[in-house]
Amino acid sequence: MASNTPQPERLTRGKSPEKRAPGRPLPLAEQAYDRIEELIITCALKPGQSLSINDLQNVVQLGRTPIHQAVSRLAADTLIIIRPRHGLRIAPIDLTREKTLLLLRRDMERFVVRLAAERSGPTHRNQLLHIARLLSERGAAMDIATFNRLDRRIDQLLAAATGEAFLENTLRPLHTIFRRIGWVYHNWAAPSGGLSQTVDSHLAMIQAVADRDAERAVAASDQLMGFMDSMFSIIEREIDPALLDCTLETQLAS
């Protein structure tokens, strides 16, 4: 088990990382969802942490109704556990479960990138190529928080390119689960490893979609999922279990 493991950052009040179109803010419930999702991904809301709606209001700085609506969605996404009369609990990181979910994600990503390669229009391809240039030029110097924001845009573009609106909402919870795994890996398990492997895998995938080469896109997606799979053994070996479920802190101390 690694020593001197960095601890999760304290809860901070902040705006959603998504850029808003001028004059067209997202609905409050969507803003609340985005902000809470970001806190979950970065473990600012610790895995396993218990809290209340009021706690979330104080952190997110939005009203009770949008917070309730966001919590309902996040509970359906299995990211928050609602405990009647006992408040809320952030879903802990269950490595066994999430490794199984990676098999599901692998198959779904294959479907998405194949469809995106076959159906993408000039606008989608232009935006993907722009992101590819950003990754090529700046990827090596990015931190994981910056990369995650760009990665979310990639996921949105790929889903949009398929022409099937159902896919983004279906995949978003899986993406959140694995962005949290990636955040843990890059910050706590292998902080000196850098982002080169994940950047290169994303570059290969989006370039193949932009080239409308479905087979190459699927192969690149599989390579990315393989890299995600390799994270689990390192996290299992290096990470204090209490960082994956903060309720273990007292159990392991006793």
Per-residue pLDDT of the chain (254 residues; tens, 9 = 90+): 444 444 444 444 333 334 445 557 789 999 999 999 999 999 999 999 999 999 999 999 999 999 999 999 999 999 999 999 899 999 999 999 999 999 999 999 999 999 999 999 999 999 999 999 999 999 888 999 999 999 999 999 999 999 999 999 899 999 999 999 999 999 999 988 889 999 999 999 999 999 999 999 999 999 999 999 999 999 999 999 999 999 998 665 55
Q: How many C-beta neighbours within 10 Å does residue 216 have?
A: 17
Residue that the structure tokens 């979950």 belong to? 40
CATH 1.10.10.10, domain 28-91, yes or no: yes
Q: How many C-beta neighbours within 10 Å does residue 131 have?
A: 18
Give me the sheet containing 80-83, strands edge to edge.
Answer: 50-51, 87-90, 80-83
Q: 95-238: which CATH number, 3.10.450.50, 1.20.58.1290, 3.40.50.620, 1.20.120.530?
A: 1.20.120.530
Could you tell me if 124 and 183 are in contact, meaning their C-beta atoms sit under 8 angstroms apart?
A: no
Task: Enumerate the CATH 1.10.10.10 domain ranges in the chain, comma separated.
Answer: 28-91
Q: Hey, what's the torsion of the CAs at 117, 119, 121, 125, to 10 degrees?
A: -10
Give me the pLDDT at residue 252, please: 58
Task: Enumerate the CATH 1.20.120.530 domain ranges in the chain, comma separated.
Answer: 95-238
